[in-house]
Chain A
C-alpha cells in the first residue's frame, strides 16, 4: 500500500513573492515505519499533511494506493488516518465514549451497536474506566490515546502522526509510542524524539523545505545531529 510522491511541490504566495513549503520531491513510502525528523519550521507538517490530502500539492501528484489526493480526497482520508500534536483540538465530544462513537457514525448506523463497539475500542486502549469521563478530566497522555483511538476506529490502513508526543511527559510519551509501534498499520511518524526515529525502518530528514537525507534511521540521526551541530 505505498504512498507515492511524484514531482510534488508546495508553495504559497506571500507579499514578497512565492514561498516554497516543499521543493519538488519524488519518492515512495512503502516501509512499515517511517520517521520524519527536522527542525521547527523545516516543513515536516507540510510534508505529512500532503499524504492524506489535508494540503494539496501546488505541482505534481500524491497518490495513496493509486488514489490521487487531489481528486479522491475523501477516499484517501478513509485510508490514511492522522493524529495531531494537540489532543485538545482533536477531541470534539464531551465524553470519551461519545468521541469514539462519532468516528463510528459513518460505518455503524445502529446506536447501541455503535456504543458497544466504542466501548470495545476504549477497552483495547486501556481506557475502559474512562468511558463516561468528561474529556476535560483526562490526562494529556489519556487524551492523546483517545485521539489515537478515535482515528483507529475509522479503520485506516496508514497512520500519520505529527509530533504526537511533543506535548507529553516522558511516561506518556512511552505510553503513546508503545501503542504506535504496536499498530498493524503502516506508520509515518513526525518526531523530535530521535529514540523513536531510531525504532523506525526508514528515516527522512527534512531541512529548509526539502528532503535532506533519506535512509537508515541510524544514518539519518547522525546526519541530523551533524546538521544542527550537536
Chain B
C-alpha cells in the first residue's frame, strides 16, 4: 500500500540525478509535448525505448515501477482497444507507446529528484512573484502537502473499508464515504496543527 508514483525518490549519482529540479521538470514537459506532437508509430516506439533506457540507467526498481504502473493498465487496455477499433494498429501504437513513455519519464523524474530540491525549484521559480504578494515558501509547502496527502488518503480509504467490512457494511457507499471524508478532514486539521507547531507557514 502507499507505493504510489510519488515519494519514490531513490538517491543516486547519475547525470539525471544531478540535473537541477527546475530544468529537469522543463525537460520532462518538453518530452511529454514531443510524444504527442511528433507523429508516427516508429517515433513513439523510439520515445518509449528512450524512456525505458533512462529508467534502466537510473536503476529504477523494476517491481515497484510495474506496481506503480498497474493502475494505468486498465486505461492502456481501453485506449488501445479504442484506437485499434477506430484507427488501426499504427495509431494505437503511436498513442499508447507515447503515453507509456511520458509516464515512465515522469517516474524517472520522481525517482531521481528529492522533494527538497523540487521545493527549492518552486521557491526560486516563484521568487519574482513575491512582489505581487505570492509567498513562494508557502506555495512550495502546499505543493509538498498535496503530494504527501495522496498516499495518506489511500491508506484512510483502505482502513475505512476494512472497518466497514468488519461491520458488514462494505456494500453501503455511505458507510464508506462519510467516515472517509471525516477522517480525511480530521487528518488535515491534525497536520495543520503539527505544521503550525513546527513554525511552518508562520512566515
Chain A interface (Cβ < 8 Å from any Cβ of B): 49, 52, 54, 73-74, 77-78, 81-82, 84, 86, 88-90, 92-95, 98, 101-103, 105-106, 111, 114-115, 132, 134, 136, 147, 150-151, 154
Within the complex, which residue of A93, A106, A111 is in contact with B148, where a contact is CB–CB below 8 Å? A93
Residues B191 and A111 in contact, CB atoms below 8 Å apart:
no
Stretch at the interface among B4-12, B37-45, B97-105: B4-12
- Of residues 133 through 148 on chain B, the ones whose CB sits less than 8 Å from some CB of chain A are 137, 144-145, 147-148
Nearest 7 CB-CB pairings of A with B: A94-B7, A89-B190, A82-B197, A74-B202, A90-B194, A136-B2, A89-B191
B202 lies within 8 A of A77 (CB) = yes
Asked whether B158 is an interface residue with its Cβ less than 8 Å from the other chain, the reply is no
Contact mask for chain B residues 107-151; partner A; CB cutoff 8 A; 1 contact, 0 none = 000000011110110000000000000000100000011011001
Judging by beta carbons under 8 Å apart, are B200 and A102 in contact? yes
Tell me the interface secondary structure of chain B in the complex. Answer: helix
CA distance A23 to B200 in the complex (A): 31
The 22 sampled A-B contact pairs (Cβ below 8 Å) are: A49-B193, A52-B197, A77-B196, A77-B199, A78-B199, A82-B194, A82-B197, A84-B197, A90-B191, A92-B144, A94-B7, A94-B9, A94-B148, A98-B9, A98-B114, A102-B200, A106-B199, A136-B1, A136-B2, A147-B194, A154-B198, A154-B199
Distance in angstroms between the alpha carbons of A159 and B169 in the assembled complex: 43
Size of the chain B interface, CB-CB below 8 angstroms: 34
Interchain CA distance A172-B67 in the complex, whole Å: 32
Contact call B193/A54, Cβ cutoff below 8 A: yes
Q: In the complex the two chains form, is A54's CB within 8 Å of B199's CB?
A: no
Contact flag A92-B197 (CB < 8 Å), given A86-B190, A111-B116, A136-B2:
no
Residues B7 and A88 in contact, CB atoms below 8 Å apart = no
Q: A154 to B203: give the CA distance in the assembly, Å.
A: 14
Is residue B187 within 8 Å, beta carbon to beta carbon, of the partner chain? yes
Interface residues of B (CB under 8 A from A): 1-2, 6-11, 114-117, 119-120, 137, 144-145, 147-148, 151-152, 187, 190-191, 193-200, 202-203
B144 x A74 contact (CB < 8 A): no
Q: In the complex, A154→B202 CA distance in Å? A: 13
Contact B196 A92, beta carbon cutoff 8 Å = no
- Which residues of chain A have C-beta atoms less than 8 A from B194's C-beta? 82, 84, 89-90, 92, 147
Q: What is the CA–CA distance of A81 and B6 in the complex, to the nearest angstrom?
A: 29
Complex: chain B residue closest to A114, CB-CB:
B116
Closest-CB distance, A111 to chain B (whole angstroms): 6
Q: How far is the CA of A73 from the CA of B38 in the complex (A)?
A: 55
Shortest CB-to-CB span from A125 to chain B, Å, is: 16
Given known A-B contacts A92-B144, A106-B199, A154-B198, A98 and B115 have beta carbons under 8 A apart: yes
Q: A74-B202, A74-B203, A93-B144 are in contact. Are A98 and B197 (CB under 8 A)?
A: no
- Is B199's CB under 8 angstroms from A92's CB? no
How far in angstroms is the closest Cβ of chain A from B169? 24
Determine the chain B residues whose CB is within 8 A of the CB of A77 once the complex forms: 196-199, 202
Cβ-defined partner of A94 (8 Å) among B6, B190, B195: B6
Give the nearest-CB partner of A102 in chain B: B200
The docked-state distance in angstroms from the alpha carbon of A95 to that of B144 is: 12
Min CB distance, B65 to chain A, in Å?
15
Starting from the known contacts A74-B203, A106-B203, A154-B198, 4 additional A-B residue pairs (CB-CB under 8 Å) come to A92-B144, A95-B115, A105-B200, A111-B120
Q: For the complex, what is the distance from the CA of A103 to the CA of B196, rounded to whole Å?
A: 11
The residue on B at minimum CB distance from A82 is B197
Docked Cα-Cα span, A216 to B137, in Å, equals 45
Q: Are B117 and A92 in contact (CB under 8 A)?
A: no
- Determine whether the beta carbon of A74 is less than 8 Å from that of B148: no
CA gap between A117 and B8 in the complex, in Å:
22
Q: Which partner residue on chain A sits nearest B202 by CB separation?
A: A74
